């Protein structure tokens, strides 16, 4: 996948902040200096990157046969949200739409946009709207031998069951308007069968309308003229065709395409009805498993501190440093030799606290991009850092959930203890102690879609989002956030290993 570039912004100096809550500094025990333990901490991005942002299956309720097909005069619509791009740079390949519906009076023909899909935004970032039928094409899936359209006994309207025709073992090819298709058969122009329009409902929301414009005279056959029903369809909104396409020209059709092109079944279940494909075969089912967010993580900020110190307080206003991490991923004014916009970042504020024994920030060491990116199979980028601590010390870690306006991962405000009740150092996976928090500083938008979220802000953008003026809350208790986020252990893992004692 493409490198995710964490775009860093500056907050206005008028941002409200509060101080840290701390107690006095006492690093010695009653009998002298306490024994220090060195720990190795690893923070890893385990998010599985998905090539598809949104997907689904659509049918027409009712109709002449009280079934899901789209008959003449009927329209099937669906609505979704999508930004110009989910990952920077803006103005890259952008967001695309595609869908697959069967030309029902055939053995294995379907309508779709080209493999790369239809652009949802133009080069200037404006939403594409209006009639886009001209960009639609009729394709032969190459899976079943063609018969005369509207007449063949192995075609959907006439066959006794699914997958009854003779196997063709071909590849997907395009049928141009006005030209004969495979087998020497002719088909009506697409504009006489189907019309696709797109409405931009505002912000990032679109509505797509698929209308059957055929009539009883559209298809001319040896048995007389006939209309052309359209099947229920599967659809997907995706970033670019280098990582994803519903099909490829001159390649064999997938089982999901075959189910639609031969029998009009887009999924294993539709409208409460079980259909023949299994979940591993239905196009919408397969694409659904490839649908979701790409979630980078900002460079984690960490601190070893005394018991009683809190990096933030639940139910109170976030500090300026925490706000900058939660909104823009900046841990400090300097990181790995890079100058960052904040005059005072969270790391700088932590280092100023007497109760904090050590603090740092860990940029991604694998290139110029400081964010931790997800990887295939959940094997994303990871960073390691060392800390030293004595019994009684605690650890706090902060990292931005980048596909958000102001969400961050952290332990409870007081952090976690680095030693058990017997003063033995802790070891192993500590992800279960990590929580997702809403800083309450910027109005929330749909994750991965909002215009004011870090991946969709320009490189020089400053304080982009709408101020929220709320308090810090764990996401499960956030009063103004109704969105759904992945489980913490589906995005980030933190493990800790004691390596030596001094």
- pLDDT tens track, the chain, 502 positions: 333 333 333 222 222 233 344 444 444 444 545 689 999 999 999 999 889 999 999 998 766 656 689 999 999 999 999 998 876 544 446 899 999 999 999 999 999 999 999 999 998 889 999 999 999 999 999 999 999 999 999 999 888 778 888 999 999 999 998 788 888 899 999 999 999 999 999 999 999 999 999 999 999 999 999 999 999 999 999 987 667 899 999 999 999 999 999 999 999 999 888 999 999 999 999 999 999 998 999 999 999 999 999 999 999 999 999 999 999 988 876 576 666 655 668 999 999 999 999 999 988 776 556 788 888 888 889 999 999 999 999 999 999 999 999 999 999 999 999 999 999 999 999 999 999 999 999 999 999 999 899 888 865 565 678 899 899 999 986 666 789 999 999 999 999 999 876 5
**Cβ–Cβ < 8 Å for 55, 233:** no
How buried is residue 459: exposed, middle or buried, by Cβ count under 10 Å (0-12/13-18/19+)? exposed
DSSP state of 488: G
Predicted confidence at residue 497, as pLDDT, reads 97
The Cα–Cα gap between 348 and 337 comes to: 15
With beta carbons less than 8 A apart as the criterion, state whether 37 and 390 touch. yes
> Could you tell me how far CA 425 lies from the centroid of its own chain?
38
pLDDT on residue 149: 96
Q: Encoding tokens for residue 485?
A: 């986020």
Residues 316/469, Cβ–Cβ less than 8 Å: no
Beta carbons within 8 Å of 298's beta carbon, 6+ residues apart: 6, 325, 329, 330, 331, 370, 371, 372, 399, 400, 402
Helix (H, G, I), strand (E, B) or coil at 40: strand
User: Which has the closest alpha carbon to 299: 259, 253, 347?
Assistant: 347
Q: Token digits for 46?
A: 């385990």
8-state DSSP, 263 = H
**pLDDT given at position 455:** 85
| Interatomic CA distance for residues 283 and 182, integer angstroms | 24
Tell me, letter by letter, the H, E, C secondary structure of 347-408.
HHHHHCCCCEEEEEECCCCCCCCCCECCCHHHCCCEEEEEEEECCCCEEEEEEEECCCCCEE
Token pair belonging to 502: 């001094």
| Residue 201 burial (CB count, 10 A) | 13
Buried b (16+ CB within 10 A) or exposed e, 49-78: bbbbbbbbbbbbeebeeebbbbbbebebeb
Tell which residue, 211, 186, 182, 209, has the closest CA to residue 197.
209
State whether residue 76 is helix, strand or coil: strand
Phi, psi of 103 (to 5 degrees): -80, 95
Distance CA 275, CA 253 (A): 20
Cβ–Cβ under 8 Å, residues 136 and 196: yes
Mapped onto helix, strand or coil, the DSSP state of residue 192 is helix
C-alpha distances (whole Å) from 465 to each of 8, 439, 453, 468 are 13, 13, 8, 9
> What pLDDT was estimated at residue 17?
31
Whole-angstrom Cα distance, residue 283 to residue 39?
48
pLDDT in the model for residue 2 = 35
Q: What is the pTM (predicted TM-score) of this model?
A: 0.87
The first and second tokens of residue 464, run together, are: 């982009």
Instruction: Report the alpha-carbon distance of residue 12 to residue 144 in Å, rounded.
Output: 63
Q: Hey, what domains does the chain have and what are their CATH numbers? A: 52-288 (no CATH), 294-336+388-501 (2.60.40)
Number of other residues whose CB lies within 10 A of the CB of residue 439: 27
Tell me, rounded to whole angstroms, the distance of Cα 138 from its chain centroid. Answer: 30
How many C-beta neighbours within 10 Å does residue 205 have? 15
pLDDT at residue 343, rounded to an integer:
66
Are 60 and 70 in contact, with CB atoms under 8 Å apart? yes
């Amino acid at each position: 996948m493409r490198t995710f570039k964490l775009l860093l912004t500056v907050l206005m100096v008028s941002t409200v902040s509060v101080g840290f809550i701390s107690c006095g500094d006492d690093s010695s025990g009653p009998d002298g200096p306490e024994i220090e333990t060195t720990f190795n901490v690893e923070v890893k991005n385990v998010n599985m990157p998905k090539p598809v942002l949104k997907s689904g299956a659509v049918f027409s309720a009712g109709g002449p046969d009280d079934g899901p097909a789209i008959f003449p005069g009927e329209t099937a619509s669906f609505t979704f949200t999508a930004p110009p791009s989910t990952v920077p740079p803006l103005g890259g390949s952008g967001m695309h739409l595609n869908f697959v519906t069967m030309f029902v009076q055939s053995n294995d023909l379907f309508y779709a946009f080209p493999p790369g899909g239809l652009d949802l935004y133009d080069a200037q970032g404006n939403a594409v709207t209006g009639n886009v039928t001209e960009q639609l094409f009729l394709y032969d899936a190459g899976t079943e031998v063609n018969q005369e359209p509207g007449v063949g006994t192995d075609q959907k309207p006439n066959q006794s069951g699914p997958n009854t025709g003779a196997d063709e073992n071909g590849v997907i090819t395009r049928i141009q308007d006005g030209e004969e298709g495979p087998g020497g058969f002719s088909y009506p122009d697409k504009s006489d069968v189907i019309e696709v329009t797109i409405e931009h409902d505002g912000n990032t929301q679109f509505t797509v309308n698929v209308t059957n414009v055929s009539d009883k005279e559209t298809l001319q056959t040896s048995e007389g003229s006939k209309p052309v029903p359209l099947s229920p369809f599967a659809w997907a909104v995706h970033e670019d065709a280098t990582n994803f396409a519903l099909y490829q020209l001159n390649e064999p059709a997938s089982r999901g395409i075959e189910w639609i092109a031969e029998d009009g079944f887009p999924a294993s279940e539709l409208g409460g009805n079980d259909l023949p494909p299994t979940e591993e075969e239905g196009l919408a089912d397969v694409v659904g498993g490839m649908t979701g967010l790409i979630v980078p993580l900002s460079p984690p900020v960490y601190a070893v501190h005394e018991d009683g110190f809190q990096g933030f307080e639940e139910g109170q206003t976030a500090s300026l440093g925490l706000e900058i991490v939660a909104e823009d991923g900046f841990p400090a004014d300097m990181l790995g030799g890079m100058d960052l916009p904040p005059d005072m970042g969270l790391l700088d504020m932590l280092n100023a606290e007497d109760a904090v024994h050590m603090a740092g920030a860990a940029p991604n060491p694998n290139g110029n991009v400081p964010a931790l990116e997800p990887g295939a199979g959940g094997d994303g980028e990871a960073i390691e850092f060392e800390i030293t601590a004595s019994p009684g010390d605690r650890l706090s870690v902060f990292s931005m959930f980048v596909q958000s306006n102001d969400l961050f991962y952290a332990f409870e405000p007081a952090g976690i203890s680095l030693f058990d009740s017997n003063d033995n150092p802790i070891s192993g996976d500590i992800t279960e102690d990590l929580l997702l928090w809403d800083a309450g500083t910027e109005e929330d938008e749909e994750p991965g879609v909002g215009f004011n979220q870090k991946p969709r802000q320009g490189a020089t953008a400053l304080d982009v989002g709408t101020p929220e003026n709320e308090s810090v809350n764990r996401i499960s208790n956030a009063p103004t956030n109704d969105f759904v986020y992945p489980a913490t252990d589906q995005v980030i893992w933190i493990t800790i290993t004691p390596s030596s004692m001094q």
